[in-house]
Chains A and B, each alone.
Chain A
Amino acid sequence: MPEASLDLERLRGKLGVEWEPHSYPIERGMISRFVQAVGDPNPLWRGGNIAPPTFVLAIGLEQFNQDLLSIAPFNTLLMGSTEIECYQPIKTGAVITVSFKMTSLRQRGGKMGRMAFMTFDSTYKNQNQGLVARCRQMVIGY
């Protein structure tokens, strides 16, 4: 019996379209908690004034997952790949606006049944509209 396809119609309607941007004030505690979570002892991050480069991926992640799962028939999301381009360090006091755009979507069979492979490009700008980072992520949903 062939595997049932995933119903990706609603998700496909969001292909190539910028999703609603969200803004996040960067507080010292956010940076400190991230540094503690990843266990990075680098004194540059001590005090929570400047974030490690990979902190950018944590900004808006929870909202992104909610936005994606509200229109896609997945129980699970896995990270396939990540690419970060850093333009400016992220510092306490900044307000970072995050926007996502899905640039590719395909479906194929895998170990877990039918799975969707999605690529998202995201931009991160500060309160002065300065570009802080760009990311590209491949996300797997099933």
Chain B
Amino acid sequence: MGDYNPIHYDQDFARSRGLSGVIVQGQLVGAFLGQLVTDWIGEKGILKKLSCSYKGMNYPGEVLTFRGRVTKKYVQDGEHCVECSLWVENAKGEKTASGMAIVVLPSRG
């Protein structure tokens, strides 16, 4: 993923920076959110925009649940757009990241 920040690999370094241990790369969490969306839209859907805001640290071994909900549907420039809100929950049900996506889906008719 191109991220060689020792905060993700070196336990001693992570602790020296005030963390309890190495943390998961934000990019990895973002990639999982991206996968949530691309799995949902299928091969004919197009992901136009994806955003993610990191609210809490994630640690190796945690079980995270990635969720989404459709919030808006509209037609723009002839494209059928769907907006979704996205979020990540840890095992305690705390949101550790949230974001949104805009996708274009083929029309039914």
Q: Count CB-based A-B contacts (< 8 Å).
A: 92
- Of all chain A residues, the one with the shortest Cβ separation from B49 is A85
Inter-chain CA distance A62–B2, complex, in Å, is 6
The interface residues of chain A, by DSSP majority, are classed as: mixed
Inter-chain CA distance A47–B18, complex, in Å, is 41
Among listed B35-43, B71-79, B80-88, interface-contacting one: B35-43
With contacts A34-B1, A44-B43, A76-B7 known, is A82 near B30, CB below 8 A?
A: yes
Inter-chain CA distance A79–B51, complex, in Å, is 12
| Residue numbers in B under 8 Å from A60 (CB-CB) | 2
In which size bucket is the chain A interface?
Answer: 20 to 34
Chain B interfacial positions (CB closer than 8 Å to A): 1-5, 7, 17-18, 25-28, 30-32, 34-35, 38-39, 43, 46-54
8 A-B pairs with C-beta separation under 8 A: A34-B1, A37-B1, A54-B50, A59-B2, A62-B2, A79-B30, A86-B46, A112-B17
| Minimum-distance CB pairs A-B, first 3 | A79-B26, A61-B2, A54-B34
